[in-house]
A = this chain, B = another copy of it.
Amino acid sequence: MSEAVGADDRNEPTTSLDDVVHQKSRLGILAIVHEGRRVEFGYLRDALELTAGNLSQHLSVLEKYGLIHIEKGYDGRRGRTWVTSTRAGTKALRREVDTLRAIVNRVTGESA
């Protein structure tokens, strides 16, 4: 027990966070592709300041959990990889954002 923290504080919003979505690069990917945006691999790599290898790993995790759809194709003769959110991905991002809002409100002392 704490000296200063009451029982009302027990329901900690951070325990609802899902590591698959909360990890900062994956959160960044989902935030960029949300609302049906179709985003190219190179754009994500630059925007999120990741190496190609690192981005690939995060995309694999998100695809494995059904949160994004990956599409390989060509832009002229150059191979391209396109990423879109799935319905589950949009839902997971919305859940994460609701929890982040609860954390912000908790820390800043505002009511949810």
Contacts and interface: CB of A to CB of B under 8 A. Distances in A.
A91 interface: no
A47 B3 contact: no
A104 B42 CA distance: 24
Given A2-B43, A5-B43, A103 B27 contact: yes
Interface residues of A, number: 38
A112 interface: no
A64 B5 CA distance: 25
Interface of A: 1-5, 9-10, 12, 14-15, 17, 19, 22, 24-25, 27-28, 31-32, 34, 37-40, 42-43, 47-49, 93, 97, 100-101, 103-104, 106-108
